[in-house]
Structure 1
Amino acid sequence: MKKINAKKIHPSIRVLLSCATLDNKIDQEYEKYINDQNRKLFGFECNGNFVGCVGIEITSLKECVIKHIAVSLEQRGNGIGSKMIKFLTEQYPIITAETDKDAIDFYRKYGFEIKSLGEKYPGVERFLCEYINE
């Protein structure tokens, strides 16, 4: 895993972030990772290309919130998401993420407890995923 801190967004990081946030918010979210000391963005490289990324907000020495996580379409199913989660669990004993129904099985596979947050947006149920290893 490589910490991303370049002022200009790498094209492959832009593509990855587009999988995890709206296209019109990519630059704004990237700026937060570069300028906010409580946010960190990490890239997972394969053959010199970024094929995965995970962005977090650090809320305490022991806790972080996953803000964005994405793996390139071509690399999905190859364990990259697992490696990124493992990287985080080795540093933070408490990790949370908010997600939609499509991603809850991914988080559940790594020991996250899943709680429904209800319909946060019209017609969209959201879920809180919590990992606690203390």
Structure 2
Amino acid sequence: MKIVDSNTMQHSIRKLLALATSKEKVEIEYERYLKYPNRTLFAFELEGENAGCIGVEINSLKLCEIKHIAVSSEHRGKGIGSKMIRFILEMHPSVFAETDSDAVEFYRKYGFKITSLGEKYPGVERFLCEY
């Protein structure tokens, strides 16, 4: 895992962040990682390329929020997401994330407590995952 802090966003990082947020928000989110000292974006390298990324934010209570996590489609199923989660859990004793129903089981298998936040957006149920 390496910290991503280049002022110029690599194409591979752009693609990964687009998986974790909308394509329209990639530039804004990347800028936030560069601008705010409480935010860090990490890249997972595999065979010399960025195969995954995980971005976190440490809040005023020293809790770690996973803001973004993504693995490239060609590298899924290789345990990269698991390695990134374990990396964050080793650094921070209290971690949480907000997600949709597609990712709930991913977090549950690492021991995260799952709580429904209800329908935060029309037709979209969101979940709080706490470790």
Shorter chain as denominator, the TM-score bin is over 0.9
Q: Deviations over 1:54-111 (max 9, x none)?
A: 0000125852000000000011111000000000010000000000000000000101
- Which residue does the alignment assign to 2:46? 46
SS in 2 for 1:67: strand
TM-score, structure 2 as length reference: 0.97
Structure 1 unaligned regions, length at least 5: none
- Which residue does the alignment assign to 2:113? 113
- Which residue does the alignment assign to 1:23? 23
Structure 2 unaligned regions, length at least 5: none
Distance 2:3 2:111 in 1: 25
Distance 2:61 2:124 in 1: 32
- Which residue does the alignment assign to 1:96? 96
- Which residue does the alignment assign to 2:12? 12
SS in 2 for 1:9: coil
Matched AA of 1:118: G
Q: CA RMSD in A?
A: 1.0
Q: Deviations over 1:26-57 (max 9, x none)?
A: 00000000110000000000111100000000
Measured after TM superposition, the shift of residue 22 of structure 1 is 0.6
Percent sequence identity is 61
Distance 1:112 1:62 in 2: 18
Distance 2:59 2:92 in 1: 10
Distance 1:8 1:70, change over 3 A: same
Distance 2:104 2:58 in 1: 22
TM-score, structure 1 as length reference: 0.95
